Amino acid sequence: MPDGQSISRRVGELGKRVEVLAFSLWPEAYAIMIGNIAEILKPLPITEVPRSGPEIVGVMSVRGRLVTVLDLKQRFKLARTFSFDNRSRILLVDVRGEQIGLLVDEVLGVYRLADHEIEPPTVMGSEHPPYIIGIGHPLGGTVLMLLDLAPLFSSSMG
């Protein structure tokens, strides 16, 4: 799994640029490597699943396939409830052989980050969560938390 060093290395491999999709979990901004994103969806009807964890919004059907939707804001303790508006999006990502929907407040766009625009996660202290693999500072001035999905899910769902 990539850590701070390896993402820099990857940047090197990819011709000094790494493409990420940035999104907001208000008030913060995060980004995921673009290769992890299967699709970006406008909100579909979601059915709540009783007895599931608080992070789980529910299940929805994407062209006949059942997708579990997660609330990352709950995960990151940014909000106790989620809300939708016309900027809300669901990012379909492939994790552990399953497609999962991540509910986000807004998609900010695709950034191509150069090596010098990425800080190692250690700047957040030595106890940084394992799913933060770096901090991006693209030209616009937004600070992006770069997420690695695998540790995010292995620690949340067990």
Partner 1 sequence: MAENPNSGRSENAGDKAREEFFSEAQEIVDGLSRDLLSLDEVSRRGGSDAELVNDVFRAVHTLKGLSGLFGAAMMSGLSHELENLLDDLRLGRIELTSPVLDLLFQSVELYARILAAAKGDAPEPASEVKALLIALGQVSQQREGGGSVIARYELDPGLLGVLTEYEEHRLRTNLQLGLSLFRMRVHFPLSSIDSSLDDLKSKTRPLGEIITFLPTGEGGDTESVELEIFVASREALGTLRSVITGSNIVIEEVRHRDVTLSAPSAAAEGHAAPMSVQEHIDDAHSNRAPTAPPAAHLLGDAAFHLSHGVRASTNPDKRARADGELTLRSVTQTVRVDIRKLDSLMDIVSALAIVRSQVARLAERVRLEPGQSQLATDLHRLHRSFDRHLEQMQNGILEVRMVPLGQIFDKLARIVRQVSREYDKQVNLVITGAETEIDKLIVEELSDPLMHMIRNAIDHGIEDRDERMRVGKPPVGTIAVNAFQKGNHVVVEVEDDGKGIDPQLIVSTAVRRGILTDAEARESNEREILNLVFQPGFTTRNEATSLSGRGVGMDVVRTNIGKLGGVVDIASEIGIGTKMTIVLPITLAIISALLVEVCGRTFCMPLASVEEAIVFDETQVRTFEGREVMNQRGATLPLARLDKVFELDGVRPGVWNSDAFGAMPTPSAVRSGNKANQLGGYVVIAKVADRRVGFVVDRLIGQQDIVIKALGKTLEKVRGFAGATELDGQRVGLVIDAASLISEILSNTSDTRDIRDTRDARFADASAVAGSLPGSVSEGVYQPSRAT
Closer Cβ to partner 1, 87 or 96, answer by number: 96
Q: Nearest approach, Cβ of 72 to partner 1 (angstroms)?
A: 13
Which of 34, 78, 107, 157 contacts partner 1 by CB under 8 A? 157
**Part of the chain binding partner 1 (CB under 8 A), chosen from 9-17, 43-51, 111-119, 122-130:** 43-51
H-helix or E-strand spanning residue 106: strand 106-114
From residue 89 to residue 108, the character string flagging contacts with partner 1 as x (rule: CB under 8 A) and all else as - is: -------xxxxx--------
**Does residue number 77 form part of the binding site for partner 1 (CB under 8 A)?**
no
Rounded to whole angstroms, the Cα distance separating 100 from 94 reads: 6
Q: Nearest approach, Cβ of 104 to partner 1 (angstroms)?
A: 15
Strand order in the sheet with 17-25: 106-114, 17-25, 28-33, 144-147, 132-136, 118-119
Query: Which residue has 């994790």 as its token pair?
Result: 95
Among the listed residues 74, 131, 66, the one whose alpha carbon sits nearest the alpha carbon of residue 101: 66
H-helix or E-strand spanning residue 5: helix 4-13
Which of 21, 32, 70, 133 contacts partner 1 by CB under 8 A? 70
Applying CB under 8 A, which residues contact partner 1?
44-54, 56-61, 64-68, 70-71, 80-84, 96-100, 153, 157
